[in-house]
Amino acid sequence: MSRRVYSLFDIWNLSFGFFGIQFGWGLQMANMSAIYQYLGADESAIPLLWLAAPVTGLIVQPIIGYYSDRTWTRLGRRRPYFLVGAILASLALVAMPNSSALWMAAGLLWVLDASVNISMEPFRAFVGDLLLPEQRKVGFAMQSLLIGLGAVLSSSLPWLLTNVFGLTGETEAGQIPLSVHIAFYIGAAVFLGAVLYTILTTPENPPEDLEAFERHKRETAGVGNAFAEIFRGIITMPRVMRQLAVVQFFTWLGLFCMWIYFAPAVGKGVFGGVPGTPAYQAGVEWAGVCFSVYNGVAFVFSFLLVRLVKRHSAKSLHRIFLIFAGAGLLSVGLWGNKYGLLVSMVGVGVGWASILAMPYAMLSNGIPAEKMGFYMGVFNFFIVLPQILAATLLGKVVELALGGEAMPVVMIGGVSMLLAAGALQFVRESGPASGETL
């Protein structure tokens, strides 16, 4: 399909939907552990309750990527998936804070994550579809910028509603604070609105030979053929993807340690509260502020990243910034007050900006253009597999080895980030793919 050189404003438009996606995801990351605890879960049960996120990604993303590669409608190739995912995710965000039981919140998390995945991975392929190879690093850096902006606003939203707008108390539905209810409602509107903005401002290019495209789709139709192609694609994945797999594994293991246990660690270890007490709620809300800080740093740093990627390789930049992230998470356990945590979040934020952009920039030029959506979905395996491992093992580690304390798990995440930085040594960056497996 034909491509043109896009202006920065055009790249902003085609990436803007990620602002909404991350707004919804940021609310989930900062609040789900606390929601589970408000509904009666203890620390050792939280990882299994989070299992919805990686499992849905493992199943949904390769399938959505495969079918979005084979789709062409009046709305385009990727945009139908953006729209359907945004509608379903917005409904799940509205329902989540109204959960009256633990099983209900866990079930809604499955729905929310499946919906976010339907929107998210086609957005990664969207950049590869529309941008020339030399512009893709800028495109993914722009996504990182907008993800940071969305996460900054969403992570701090419950704290802002409580401390700036004076929104306190609970609803009749249960123990989940009113500020969380309102934040999730706002998140639903932002998610859908941002995705609609990209759909309305950024047209897609049809296949160069639409008749051949439709003929190939008819000849390879059927669920059996789909699964055969997916399996064959996984077995023959490009070399750069195999090399990046180790980096992604340790990176996302570290992130999952932080996302699951940071809020309980702050609520209990720094603020001295237990679930259901004002001190614990204050700690959870401060953890949201910390998440907002690291996402804010990522947002600001992404402006610099857009410039750096024009002069330096994605691999060298990513290694340096993963070291920053590892140091940030390791230092979390060293502070005895809430303000020190903000210093740690600066390092995490620098790493997060790179995590959201550099691996995809390295990958996109090493995979066939006609399978961009599928391989972006398969790449997600190396994000979700460490999360599944963490979800099944971390609870027992906390219970049996750490005496129920959450803070050491966050520090383990820092070690994992440093291992990811070391694994980059074995990654060989590729030029634009010709359509063959490397």
Q: Output the DSSP codes for 400-424.
A: IISTT-SHHHHHHHHHHHHHHHHHG
Residue 177 — φ and ψ, nearest 5°?
-60, 155
Residue 99 — φ and ψ, nearest 5°?
-60, 135
Q: Identify any residues that bridge with 170 across adjacent strands, giving them in sequence order.
A: 177
Prediction pTM value: 0.72
> What pLDDT sits at residue 434?
37
Tell the CATH topology of 8-426: Growth Hormone; Chain: A; (1.20.1250)
Q: Crossing angle, helix 278-308 and helix 239-264, to 10 degrees?
A: 150
The vertex-423 CA angle with 321 and 57, nearest 5°, equals 80
Q: Where are the domains of the chain?
A: 8-426
Closest CA to 82 of 52, 41, 133, 125: 125
Residue 203 — φ and ψ, nearest 5°?
-75, 160
SS3 345: helix
Residue 76 — φ and ψ, nearest 5°?
115, -160
Whether the CB-CB separation of 363 and 379 falls below 8 Å is answered with yes
- Residue matched to tokens 């995809």: 360
Whether the CB-CB separation of 295 and 148 falls below 8 Å is answered with yes
Tokens standing for residue 264: 């309980």
Closest CA to 145 of 253, 303, 330: 303
List alpha helices for 265-313, DSSP H: 278-308
Per-residue pLDDT of the chain (438 residues; tens, 9 = 90+): 446 788 889 999 988 998 999 899 888 877 887 888 888 887 777 777 877 667 777 777 778 877 888 888 888 888 999 899 999 999 999 999 888 888 888 888 888 888 888 888 788 788 778 888 778 878 877 887 888 788 778 877 888 888 888 777 665 555 788 888 899 999 999 999 999 999 999 988 887 767 777 776 666 666 667 677 767 767 777 888 888 889 999 999 999 888 888 888 888 878 877 777 888 878 888 888 888 888 788 888 887 887 887 778 888 899 999 999 999 999 988 877 889 999 999 999 999 989 988 888 788 777 777 777 777 777 877 888 887 887 778 777 777 777 667 788 888 999 999 999 999 988 876 554 433 332
Whether the CB-CB separation of 383 and 121 falls below 8 Å is answered with no
Whether the CB-CB separation of 101 and 39 falls below 8 Å is answered with yes
Distance, in Å, from the CA atom of 168 to the CA atom of 295, rounded to the nearest integer, reads: 25
Torsion of CA 241, 10, 209, 236, to 10 degrees: 0
> What pLDDT sits at residue 220?
64
Torsion of CA 80, 83, 86, 90, to 10 degrees: -140
Residue 170 — φ and ψ, nearest 5°?
-120, 170
Number of alpha carbons in the 13 Å side-chain half-sphere of residue 224: 1
Helices and strands (H and E) in the chain: how many? 18, 0
> What pLDDT sits at residue 222?
60
**Concatenated DSSP letters for 217-256?**
HHHT-SHHHHHHHHHHHHHT--HHHHHHHHHHHHHHHHHH
End-to-end C-alpha distance for the chain, whole angstroms: 22
Distance, in Å, from the CA atom of 206 to the CA atom of 211, rounded to the nearest integer, reads: 11
Region label for 367, one of left (φ > 0), alpha (ψ between -120 and 50) or beta (otherwise): beta
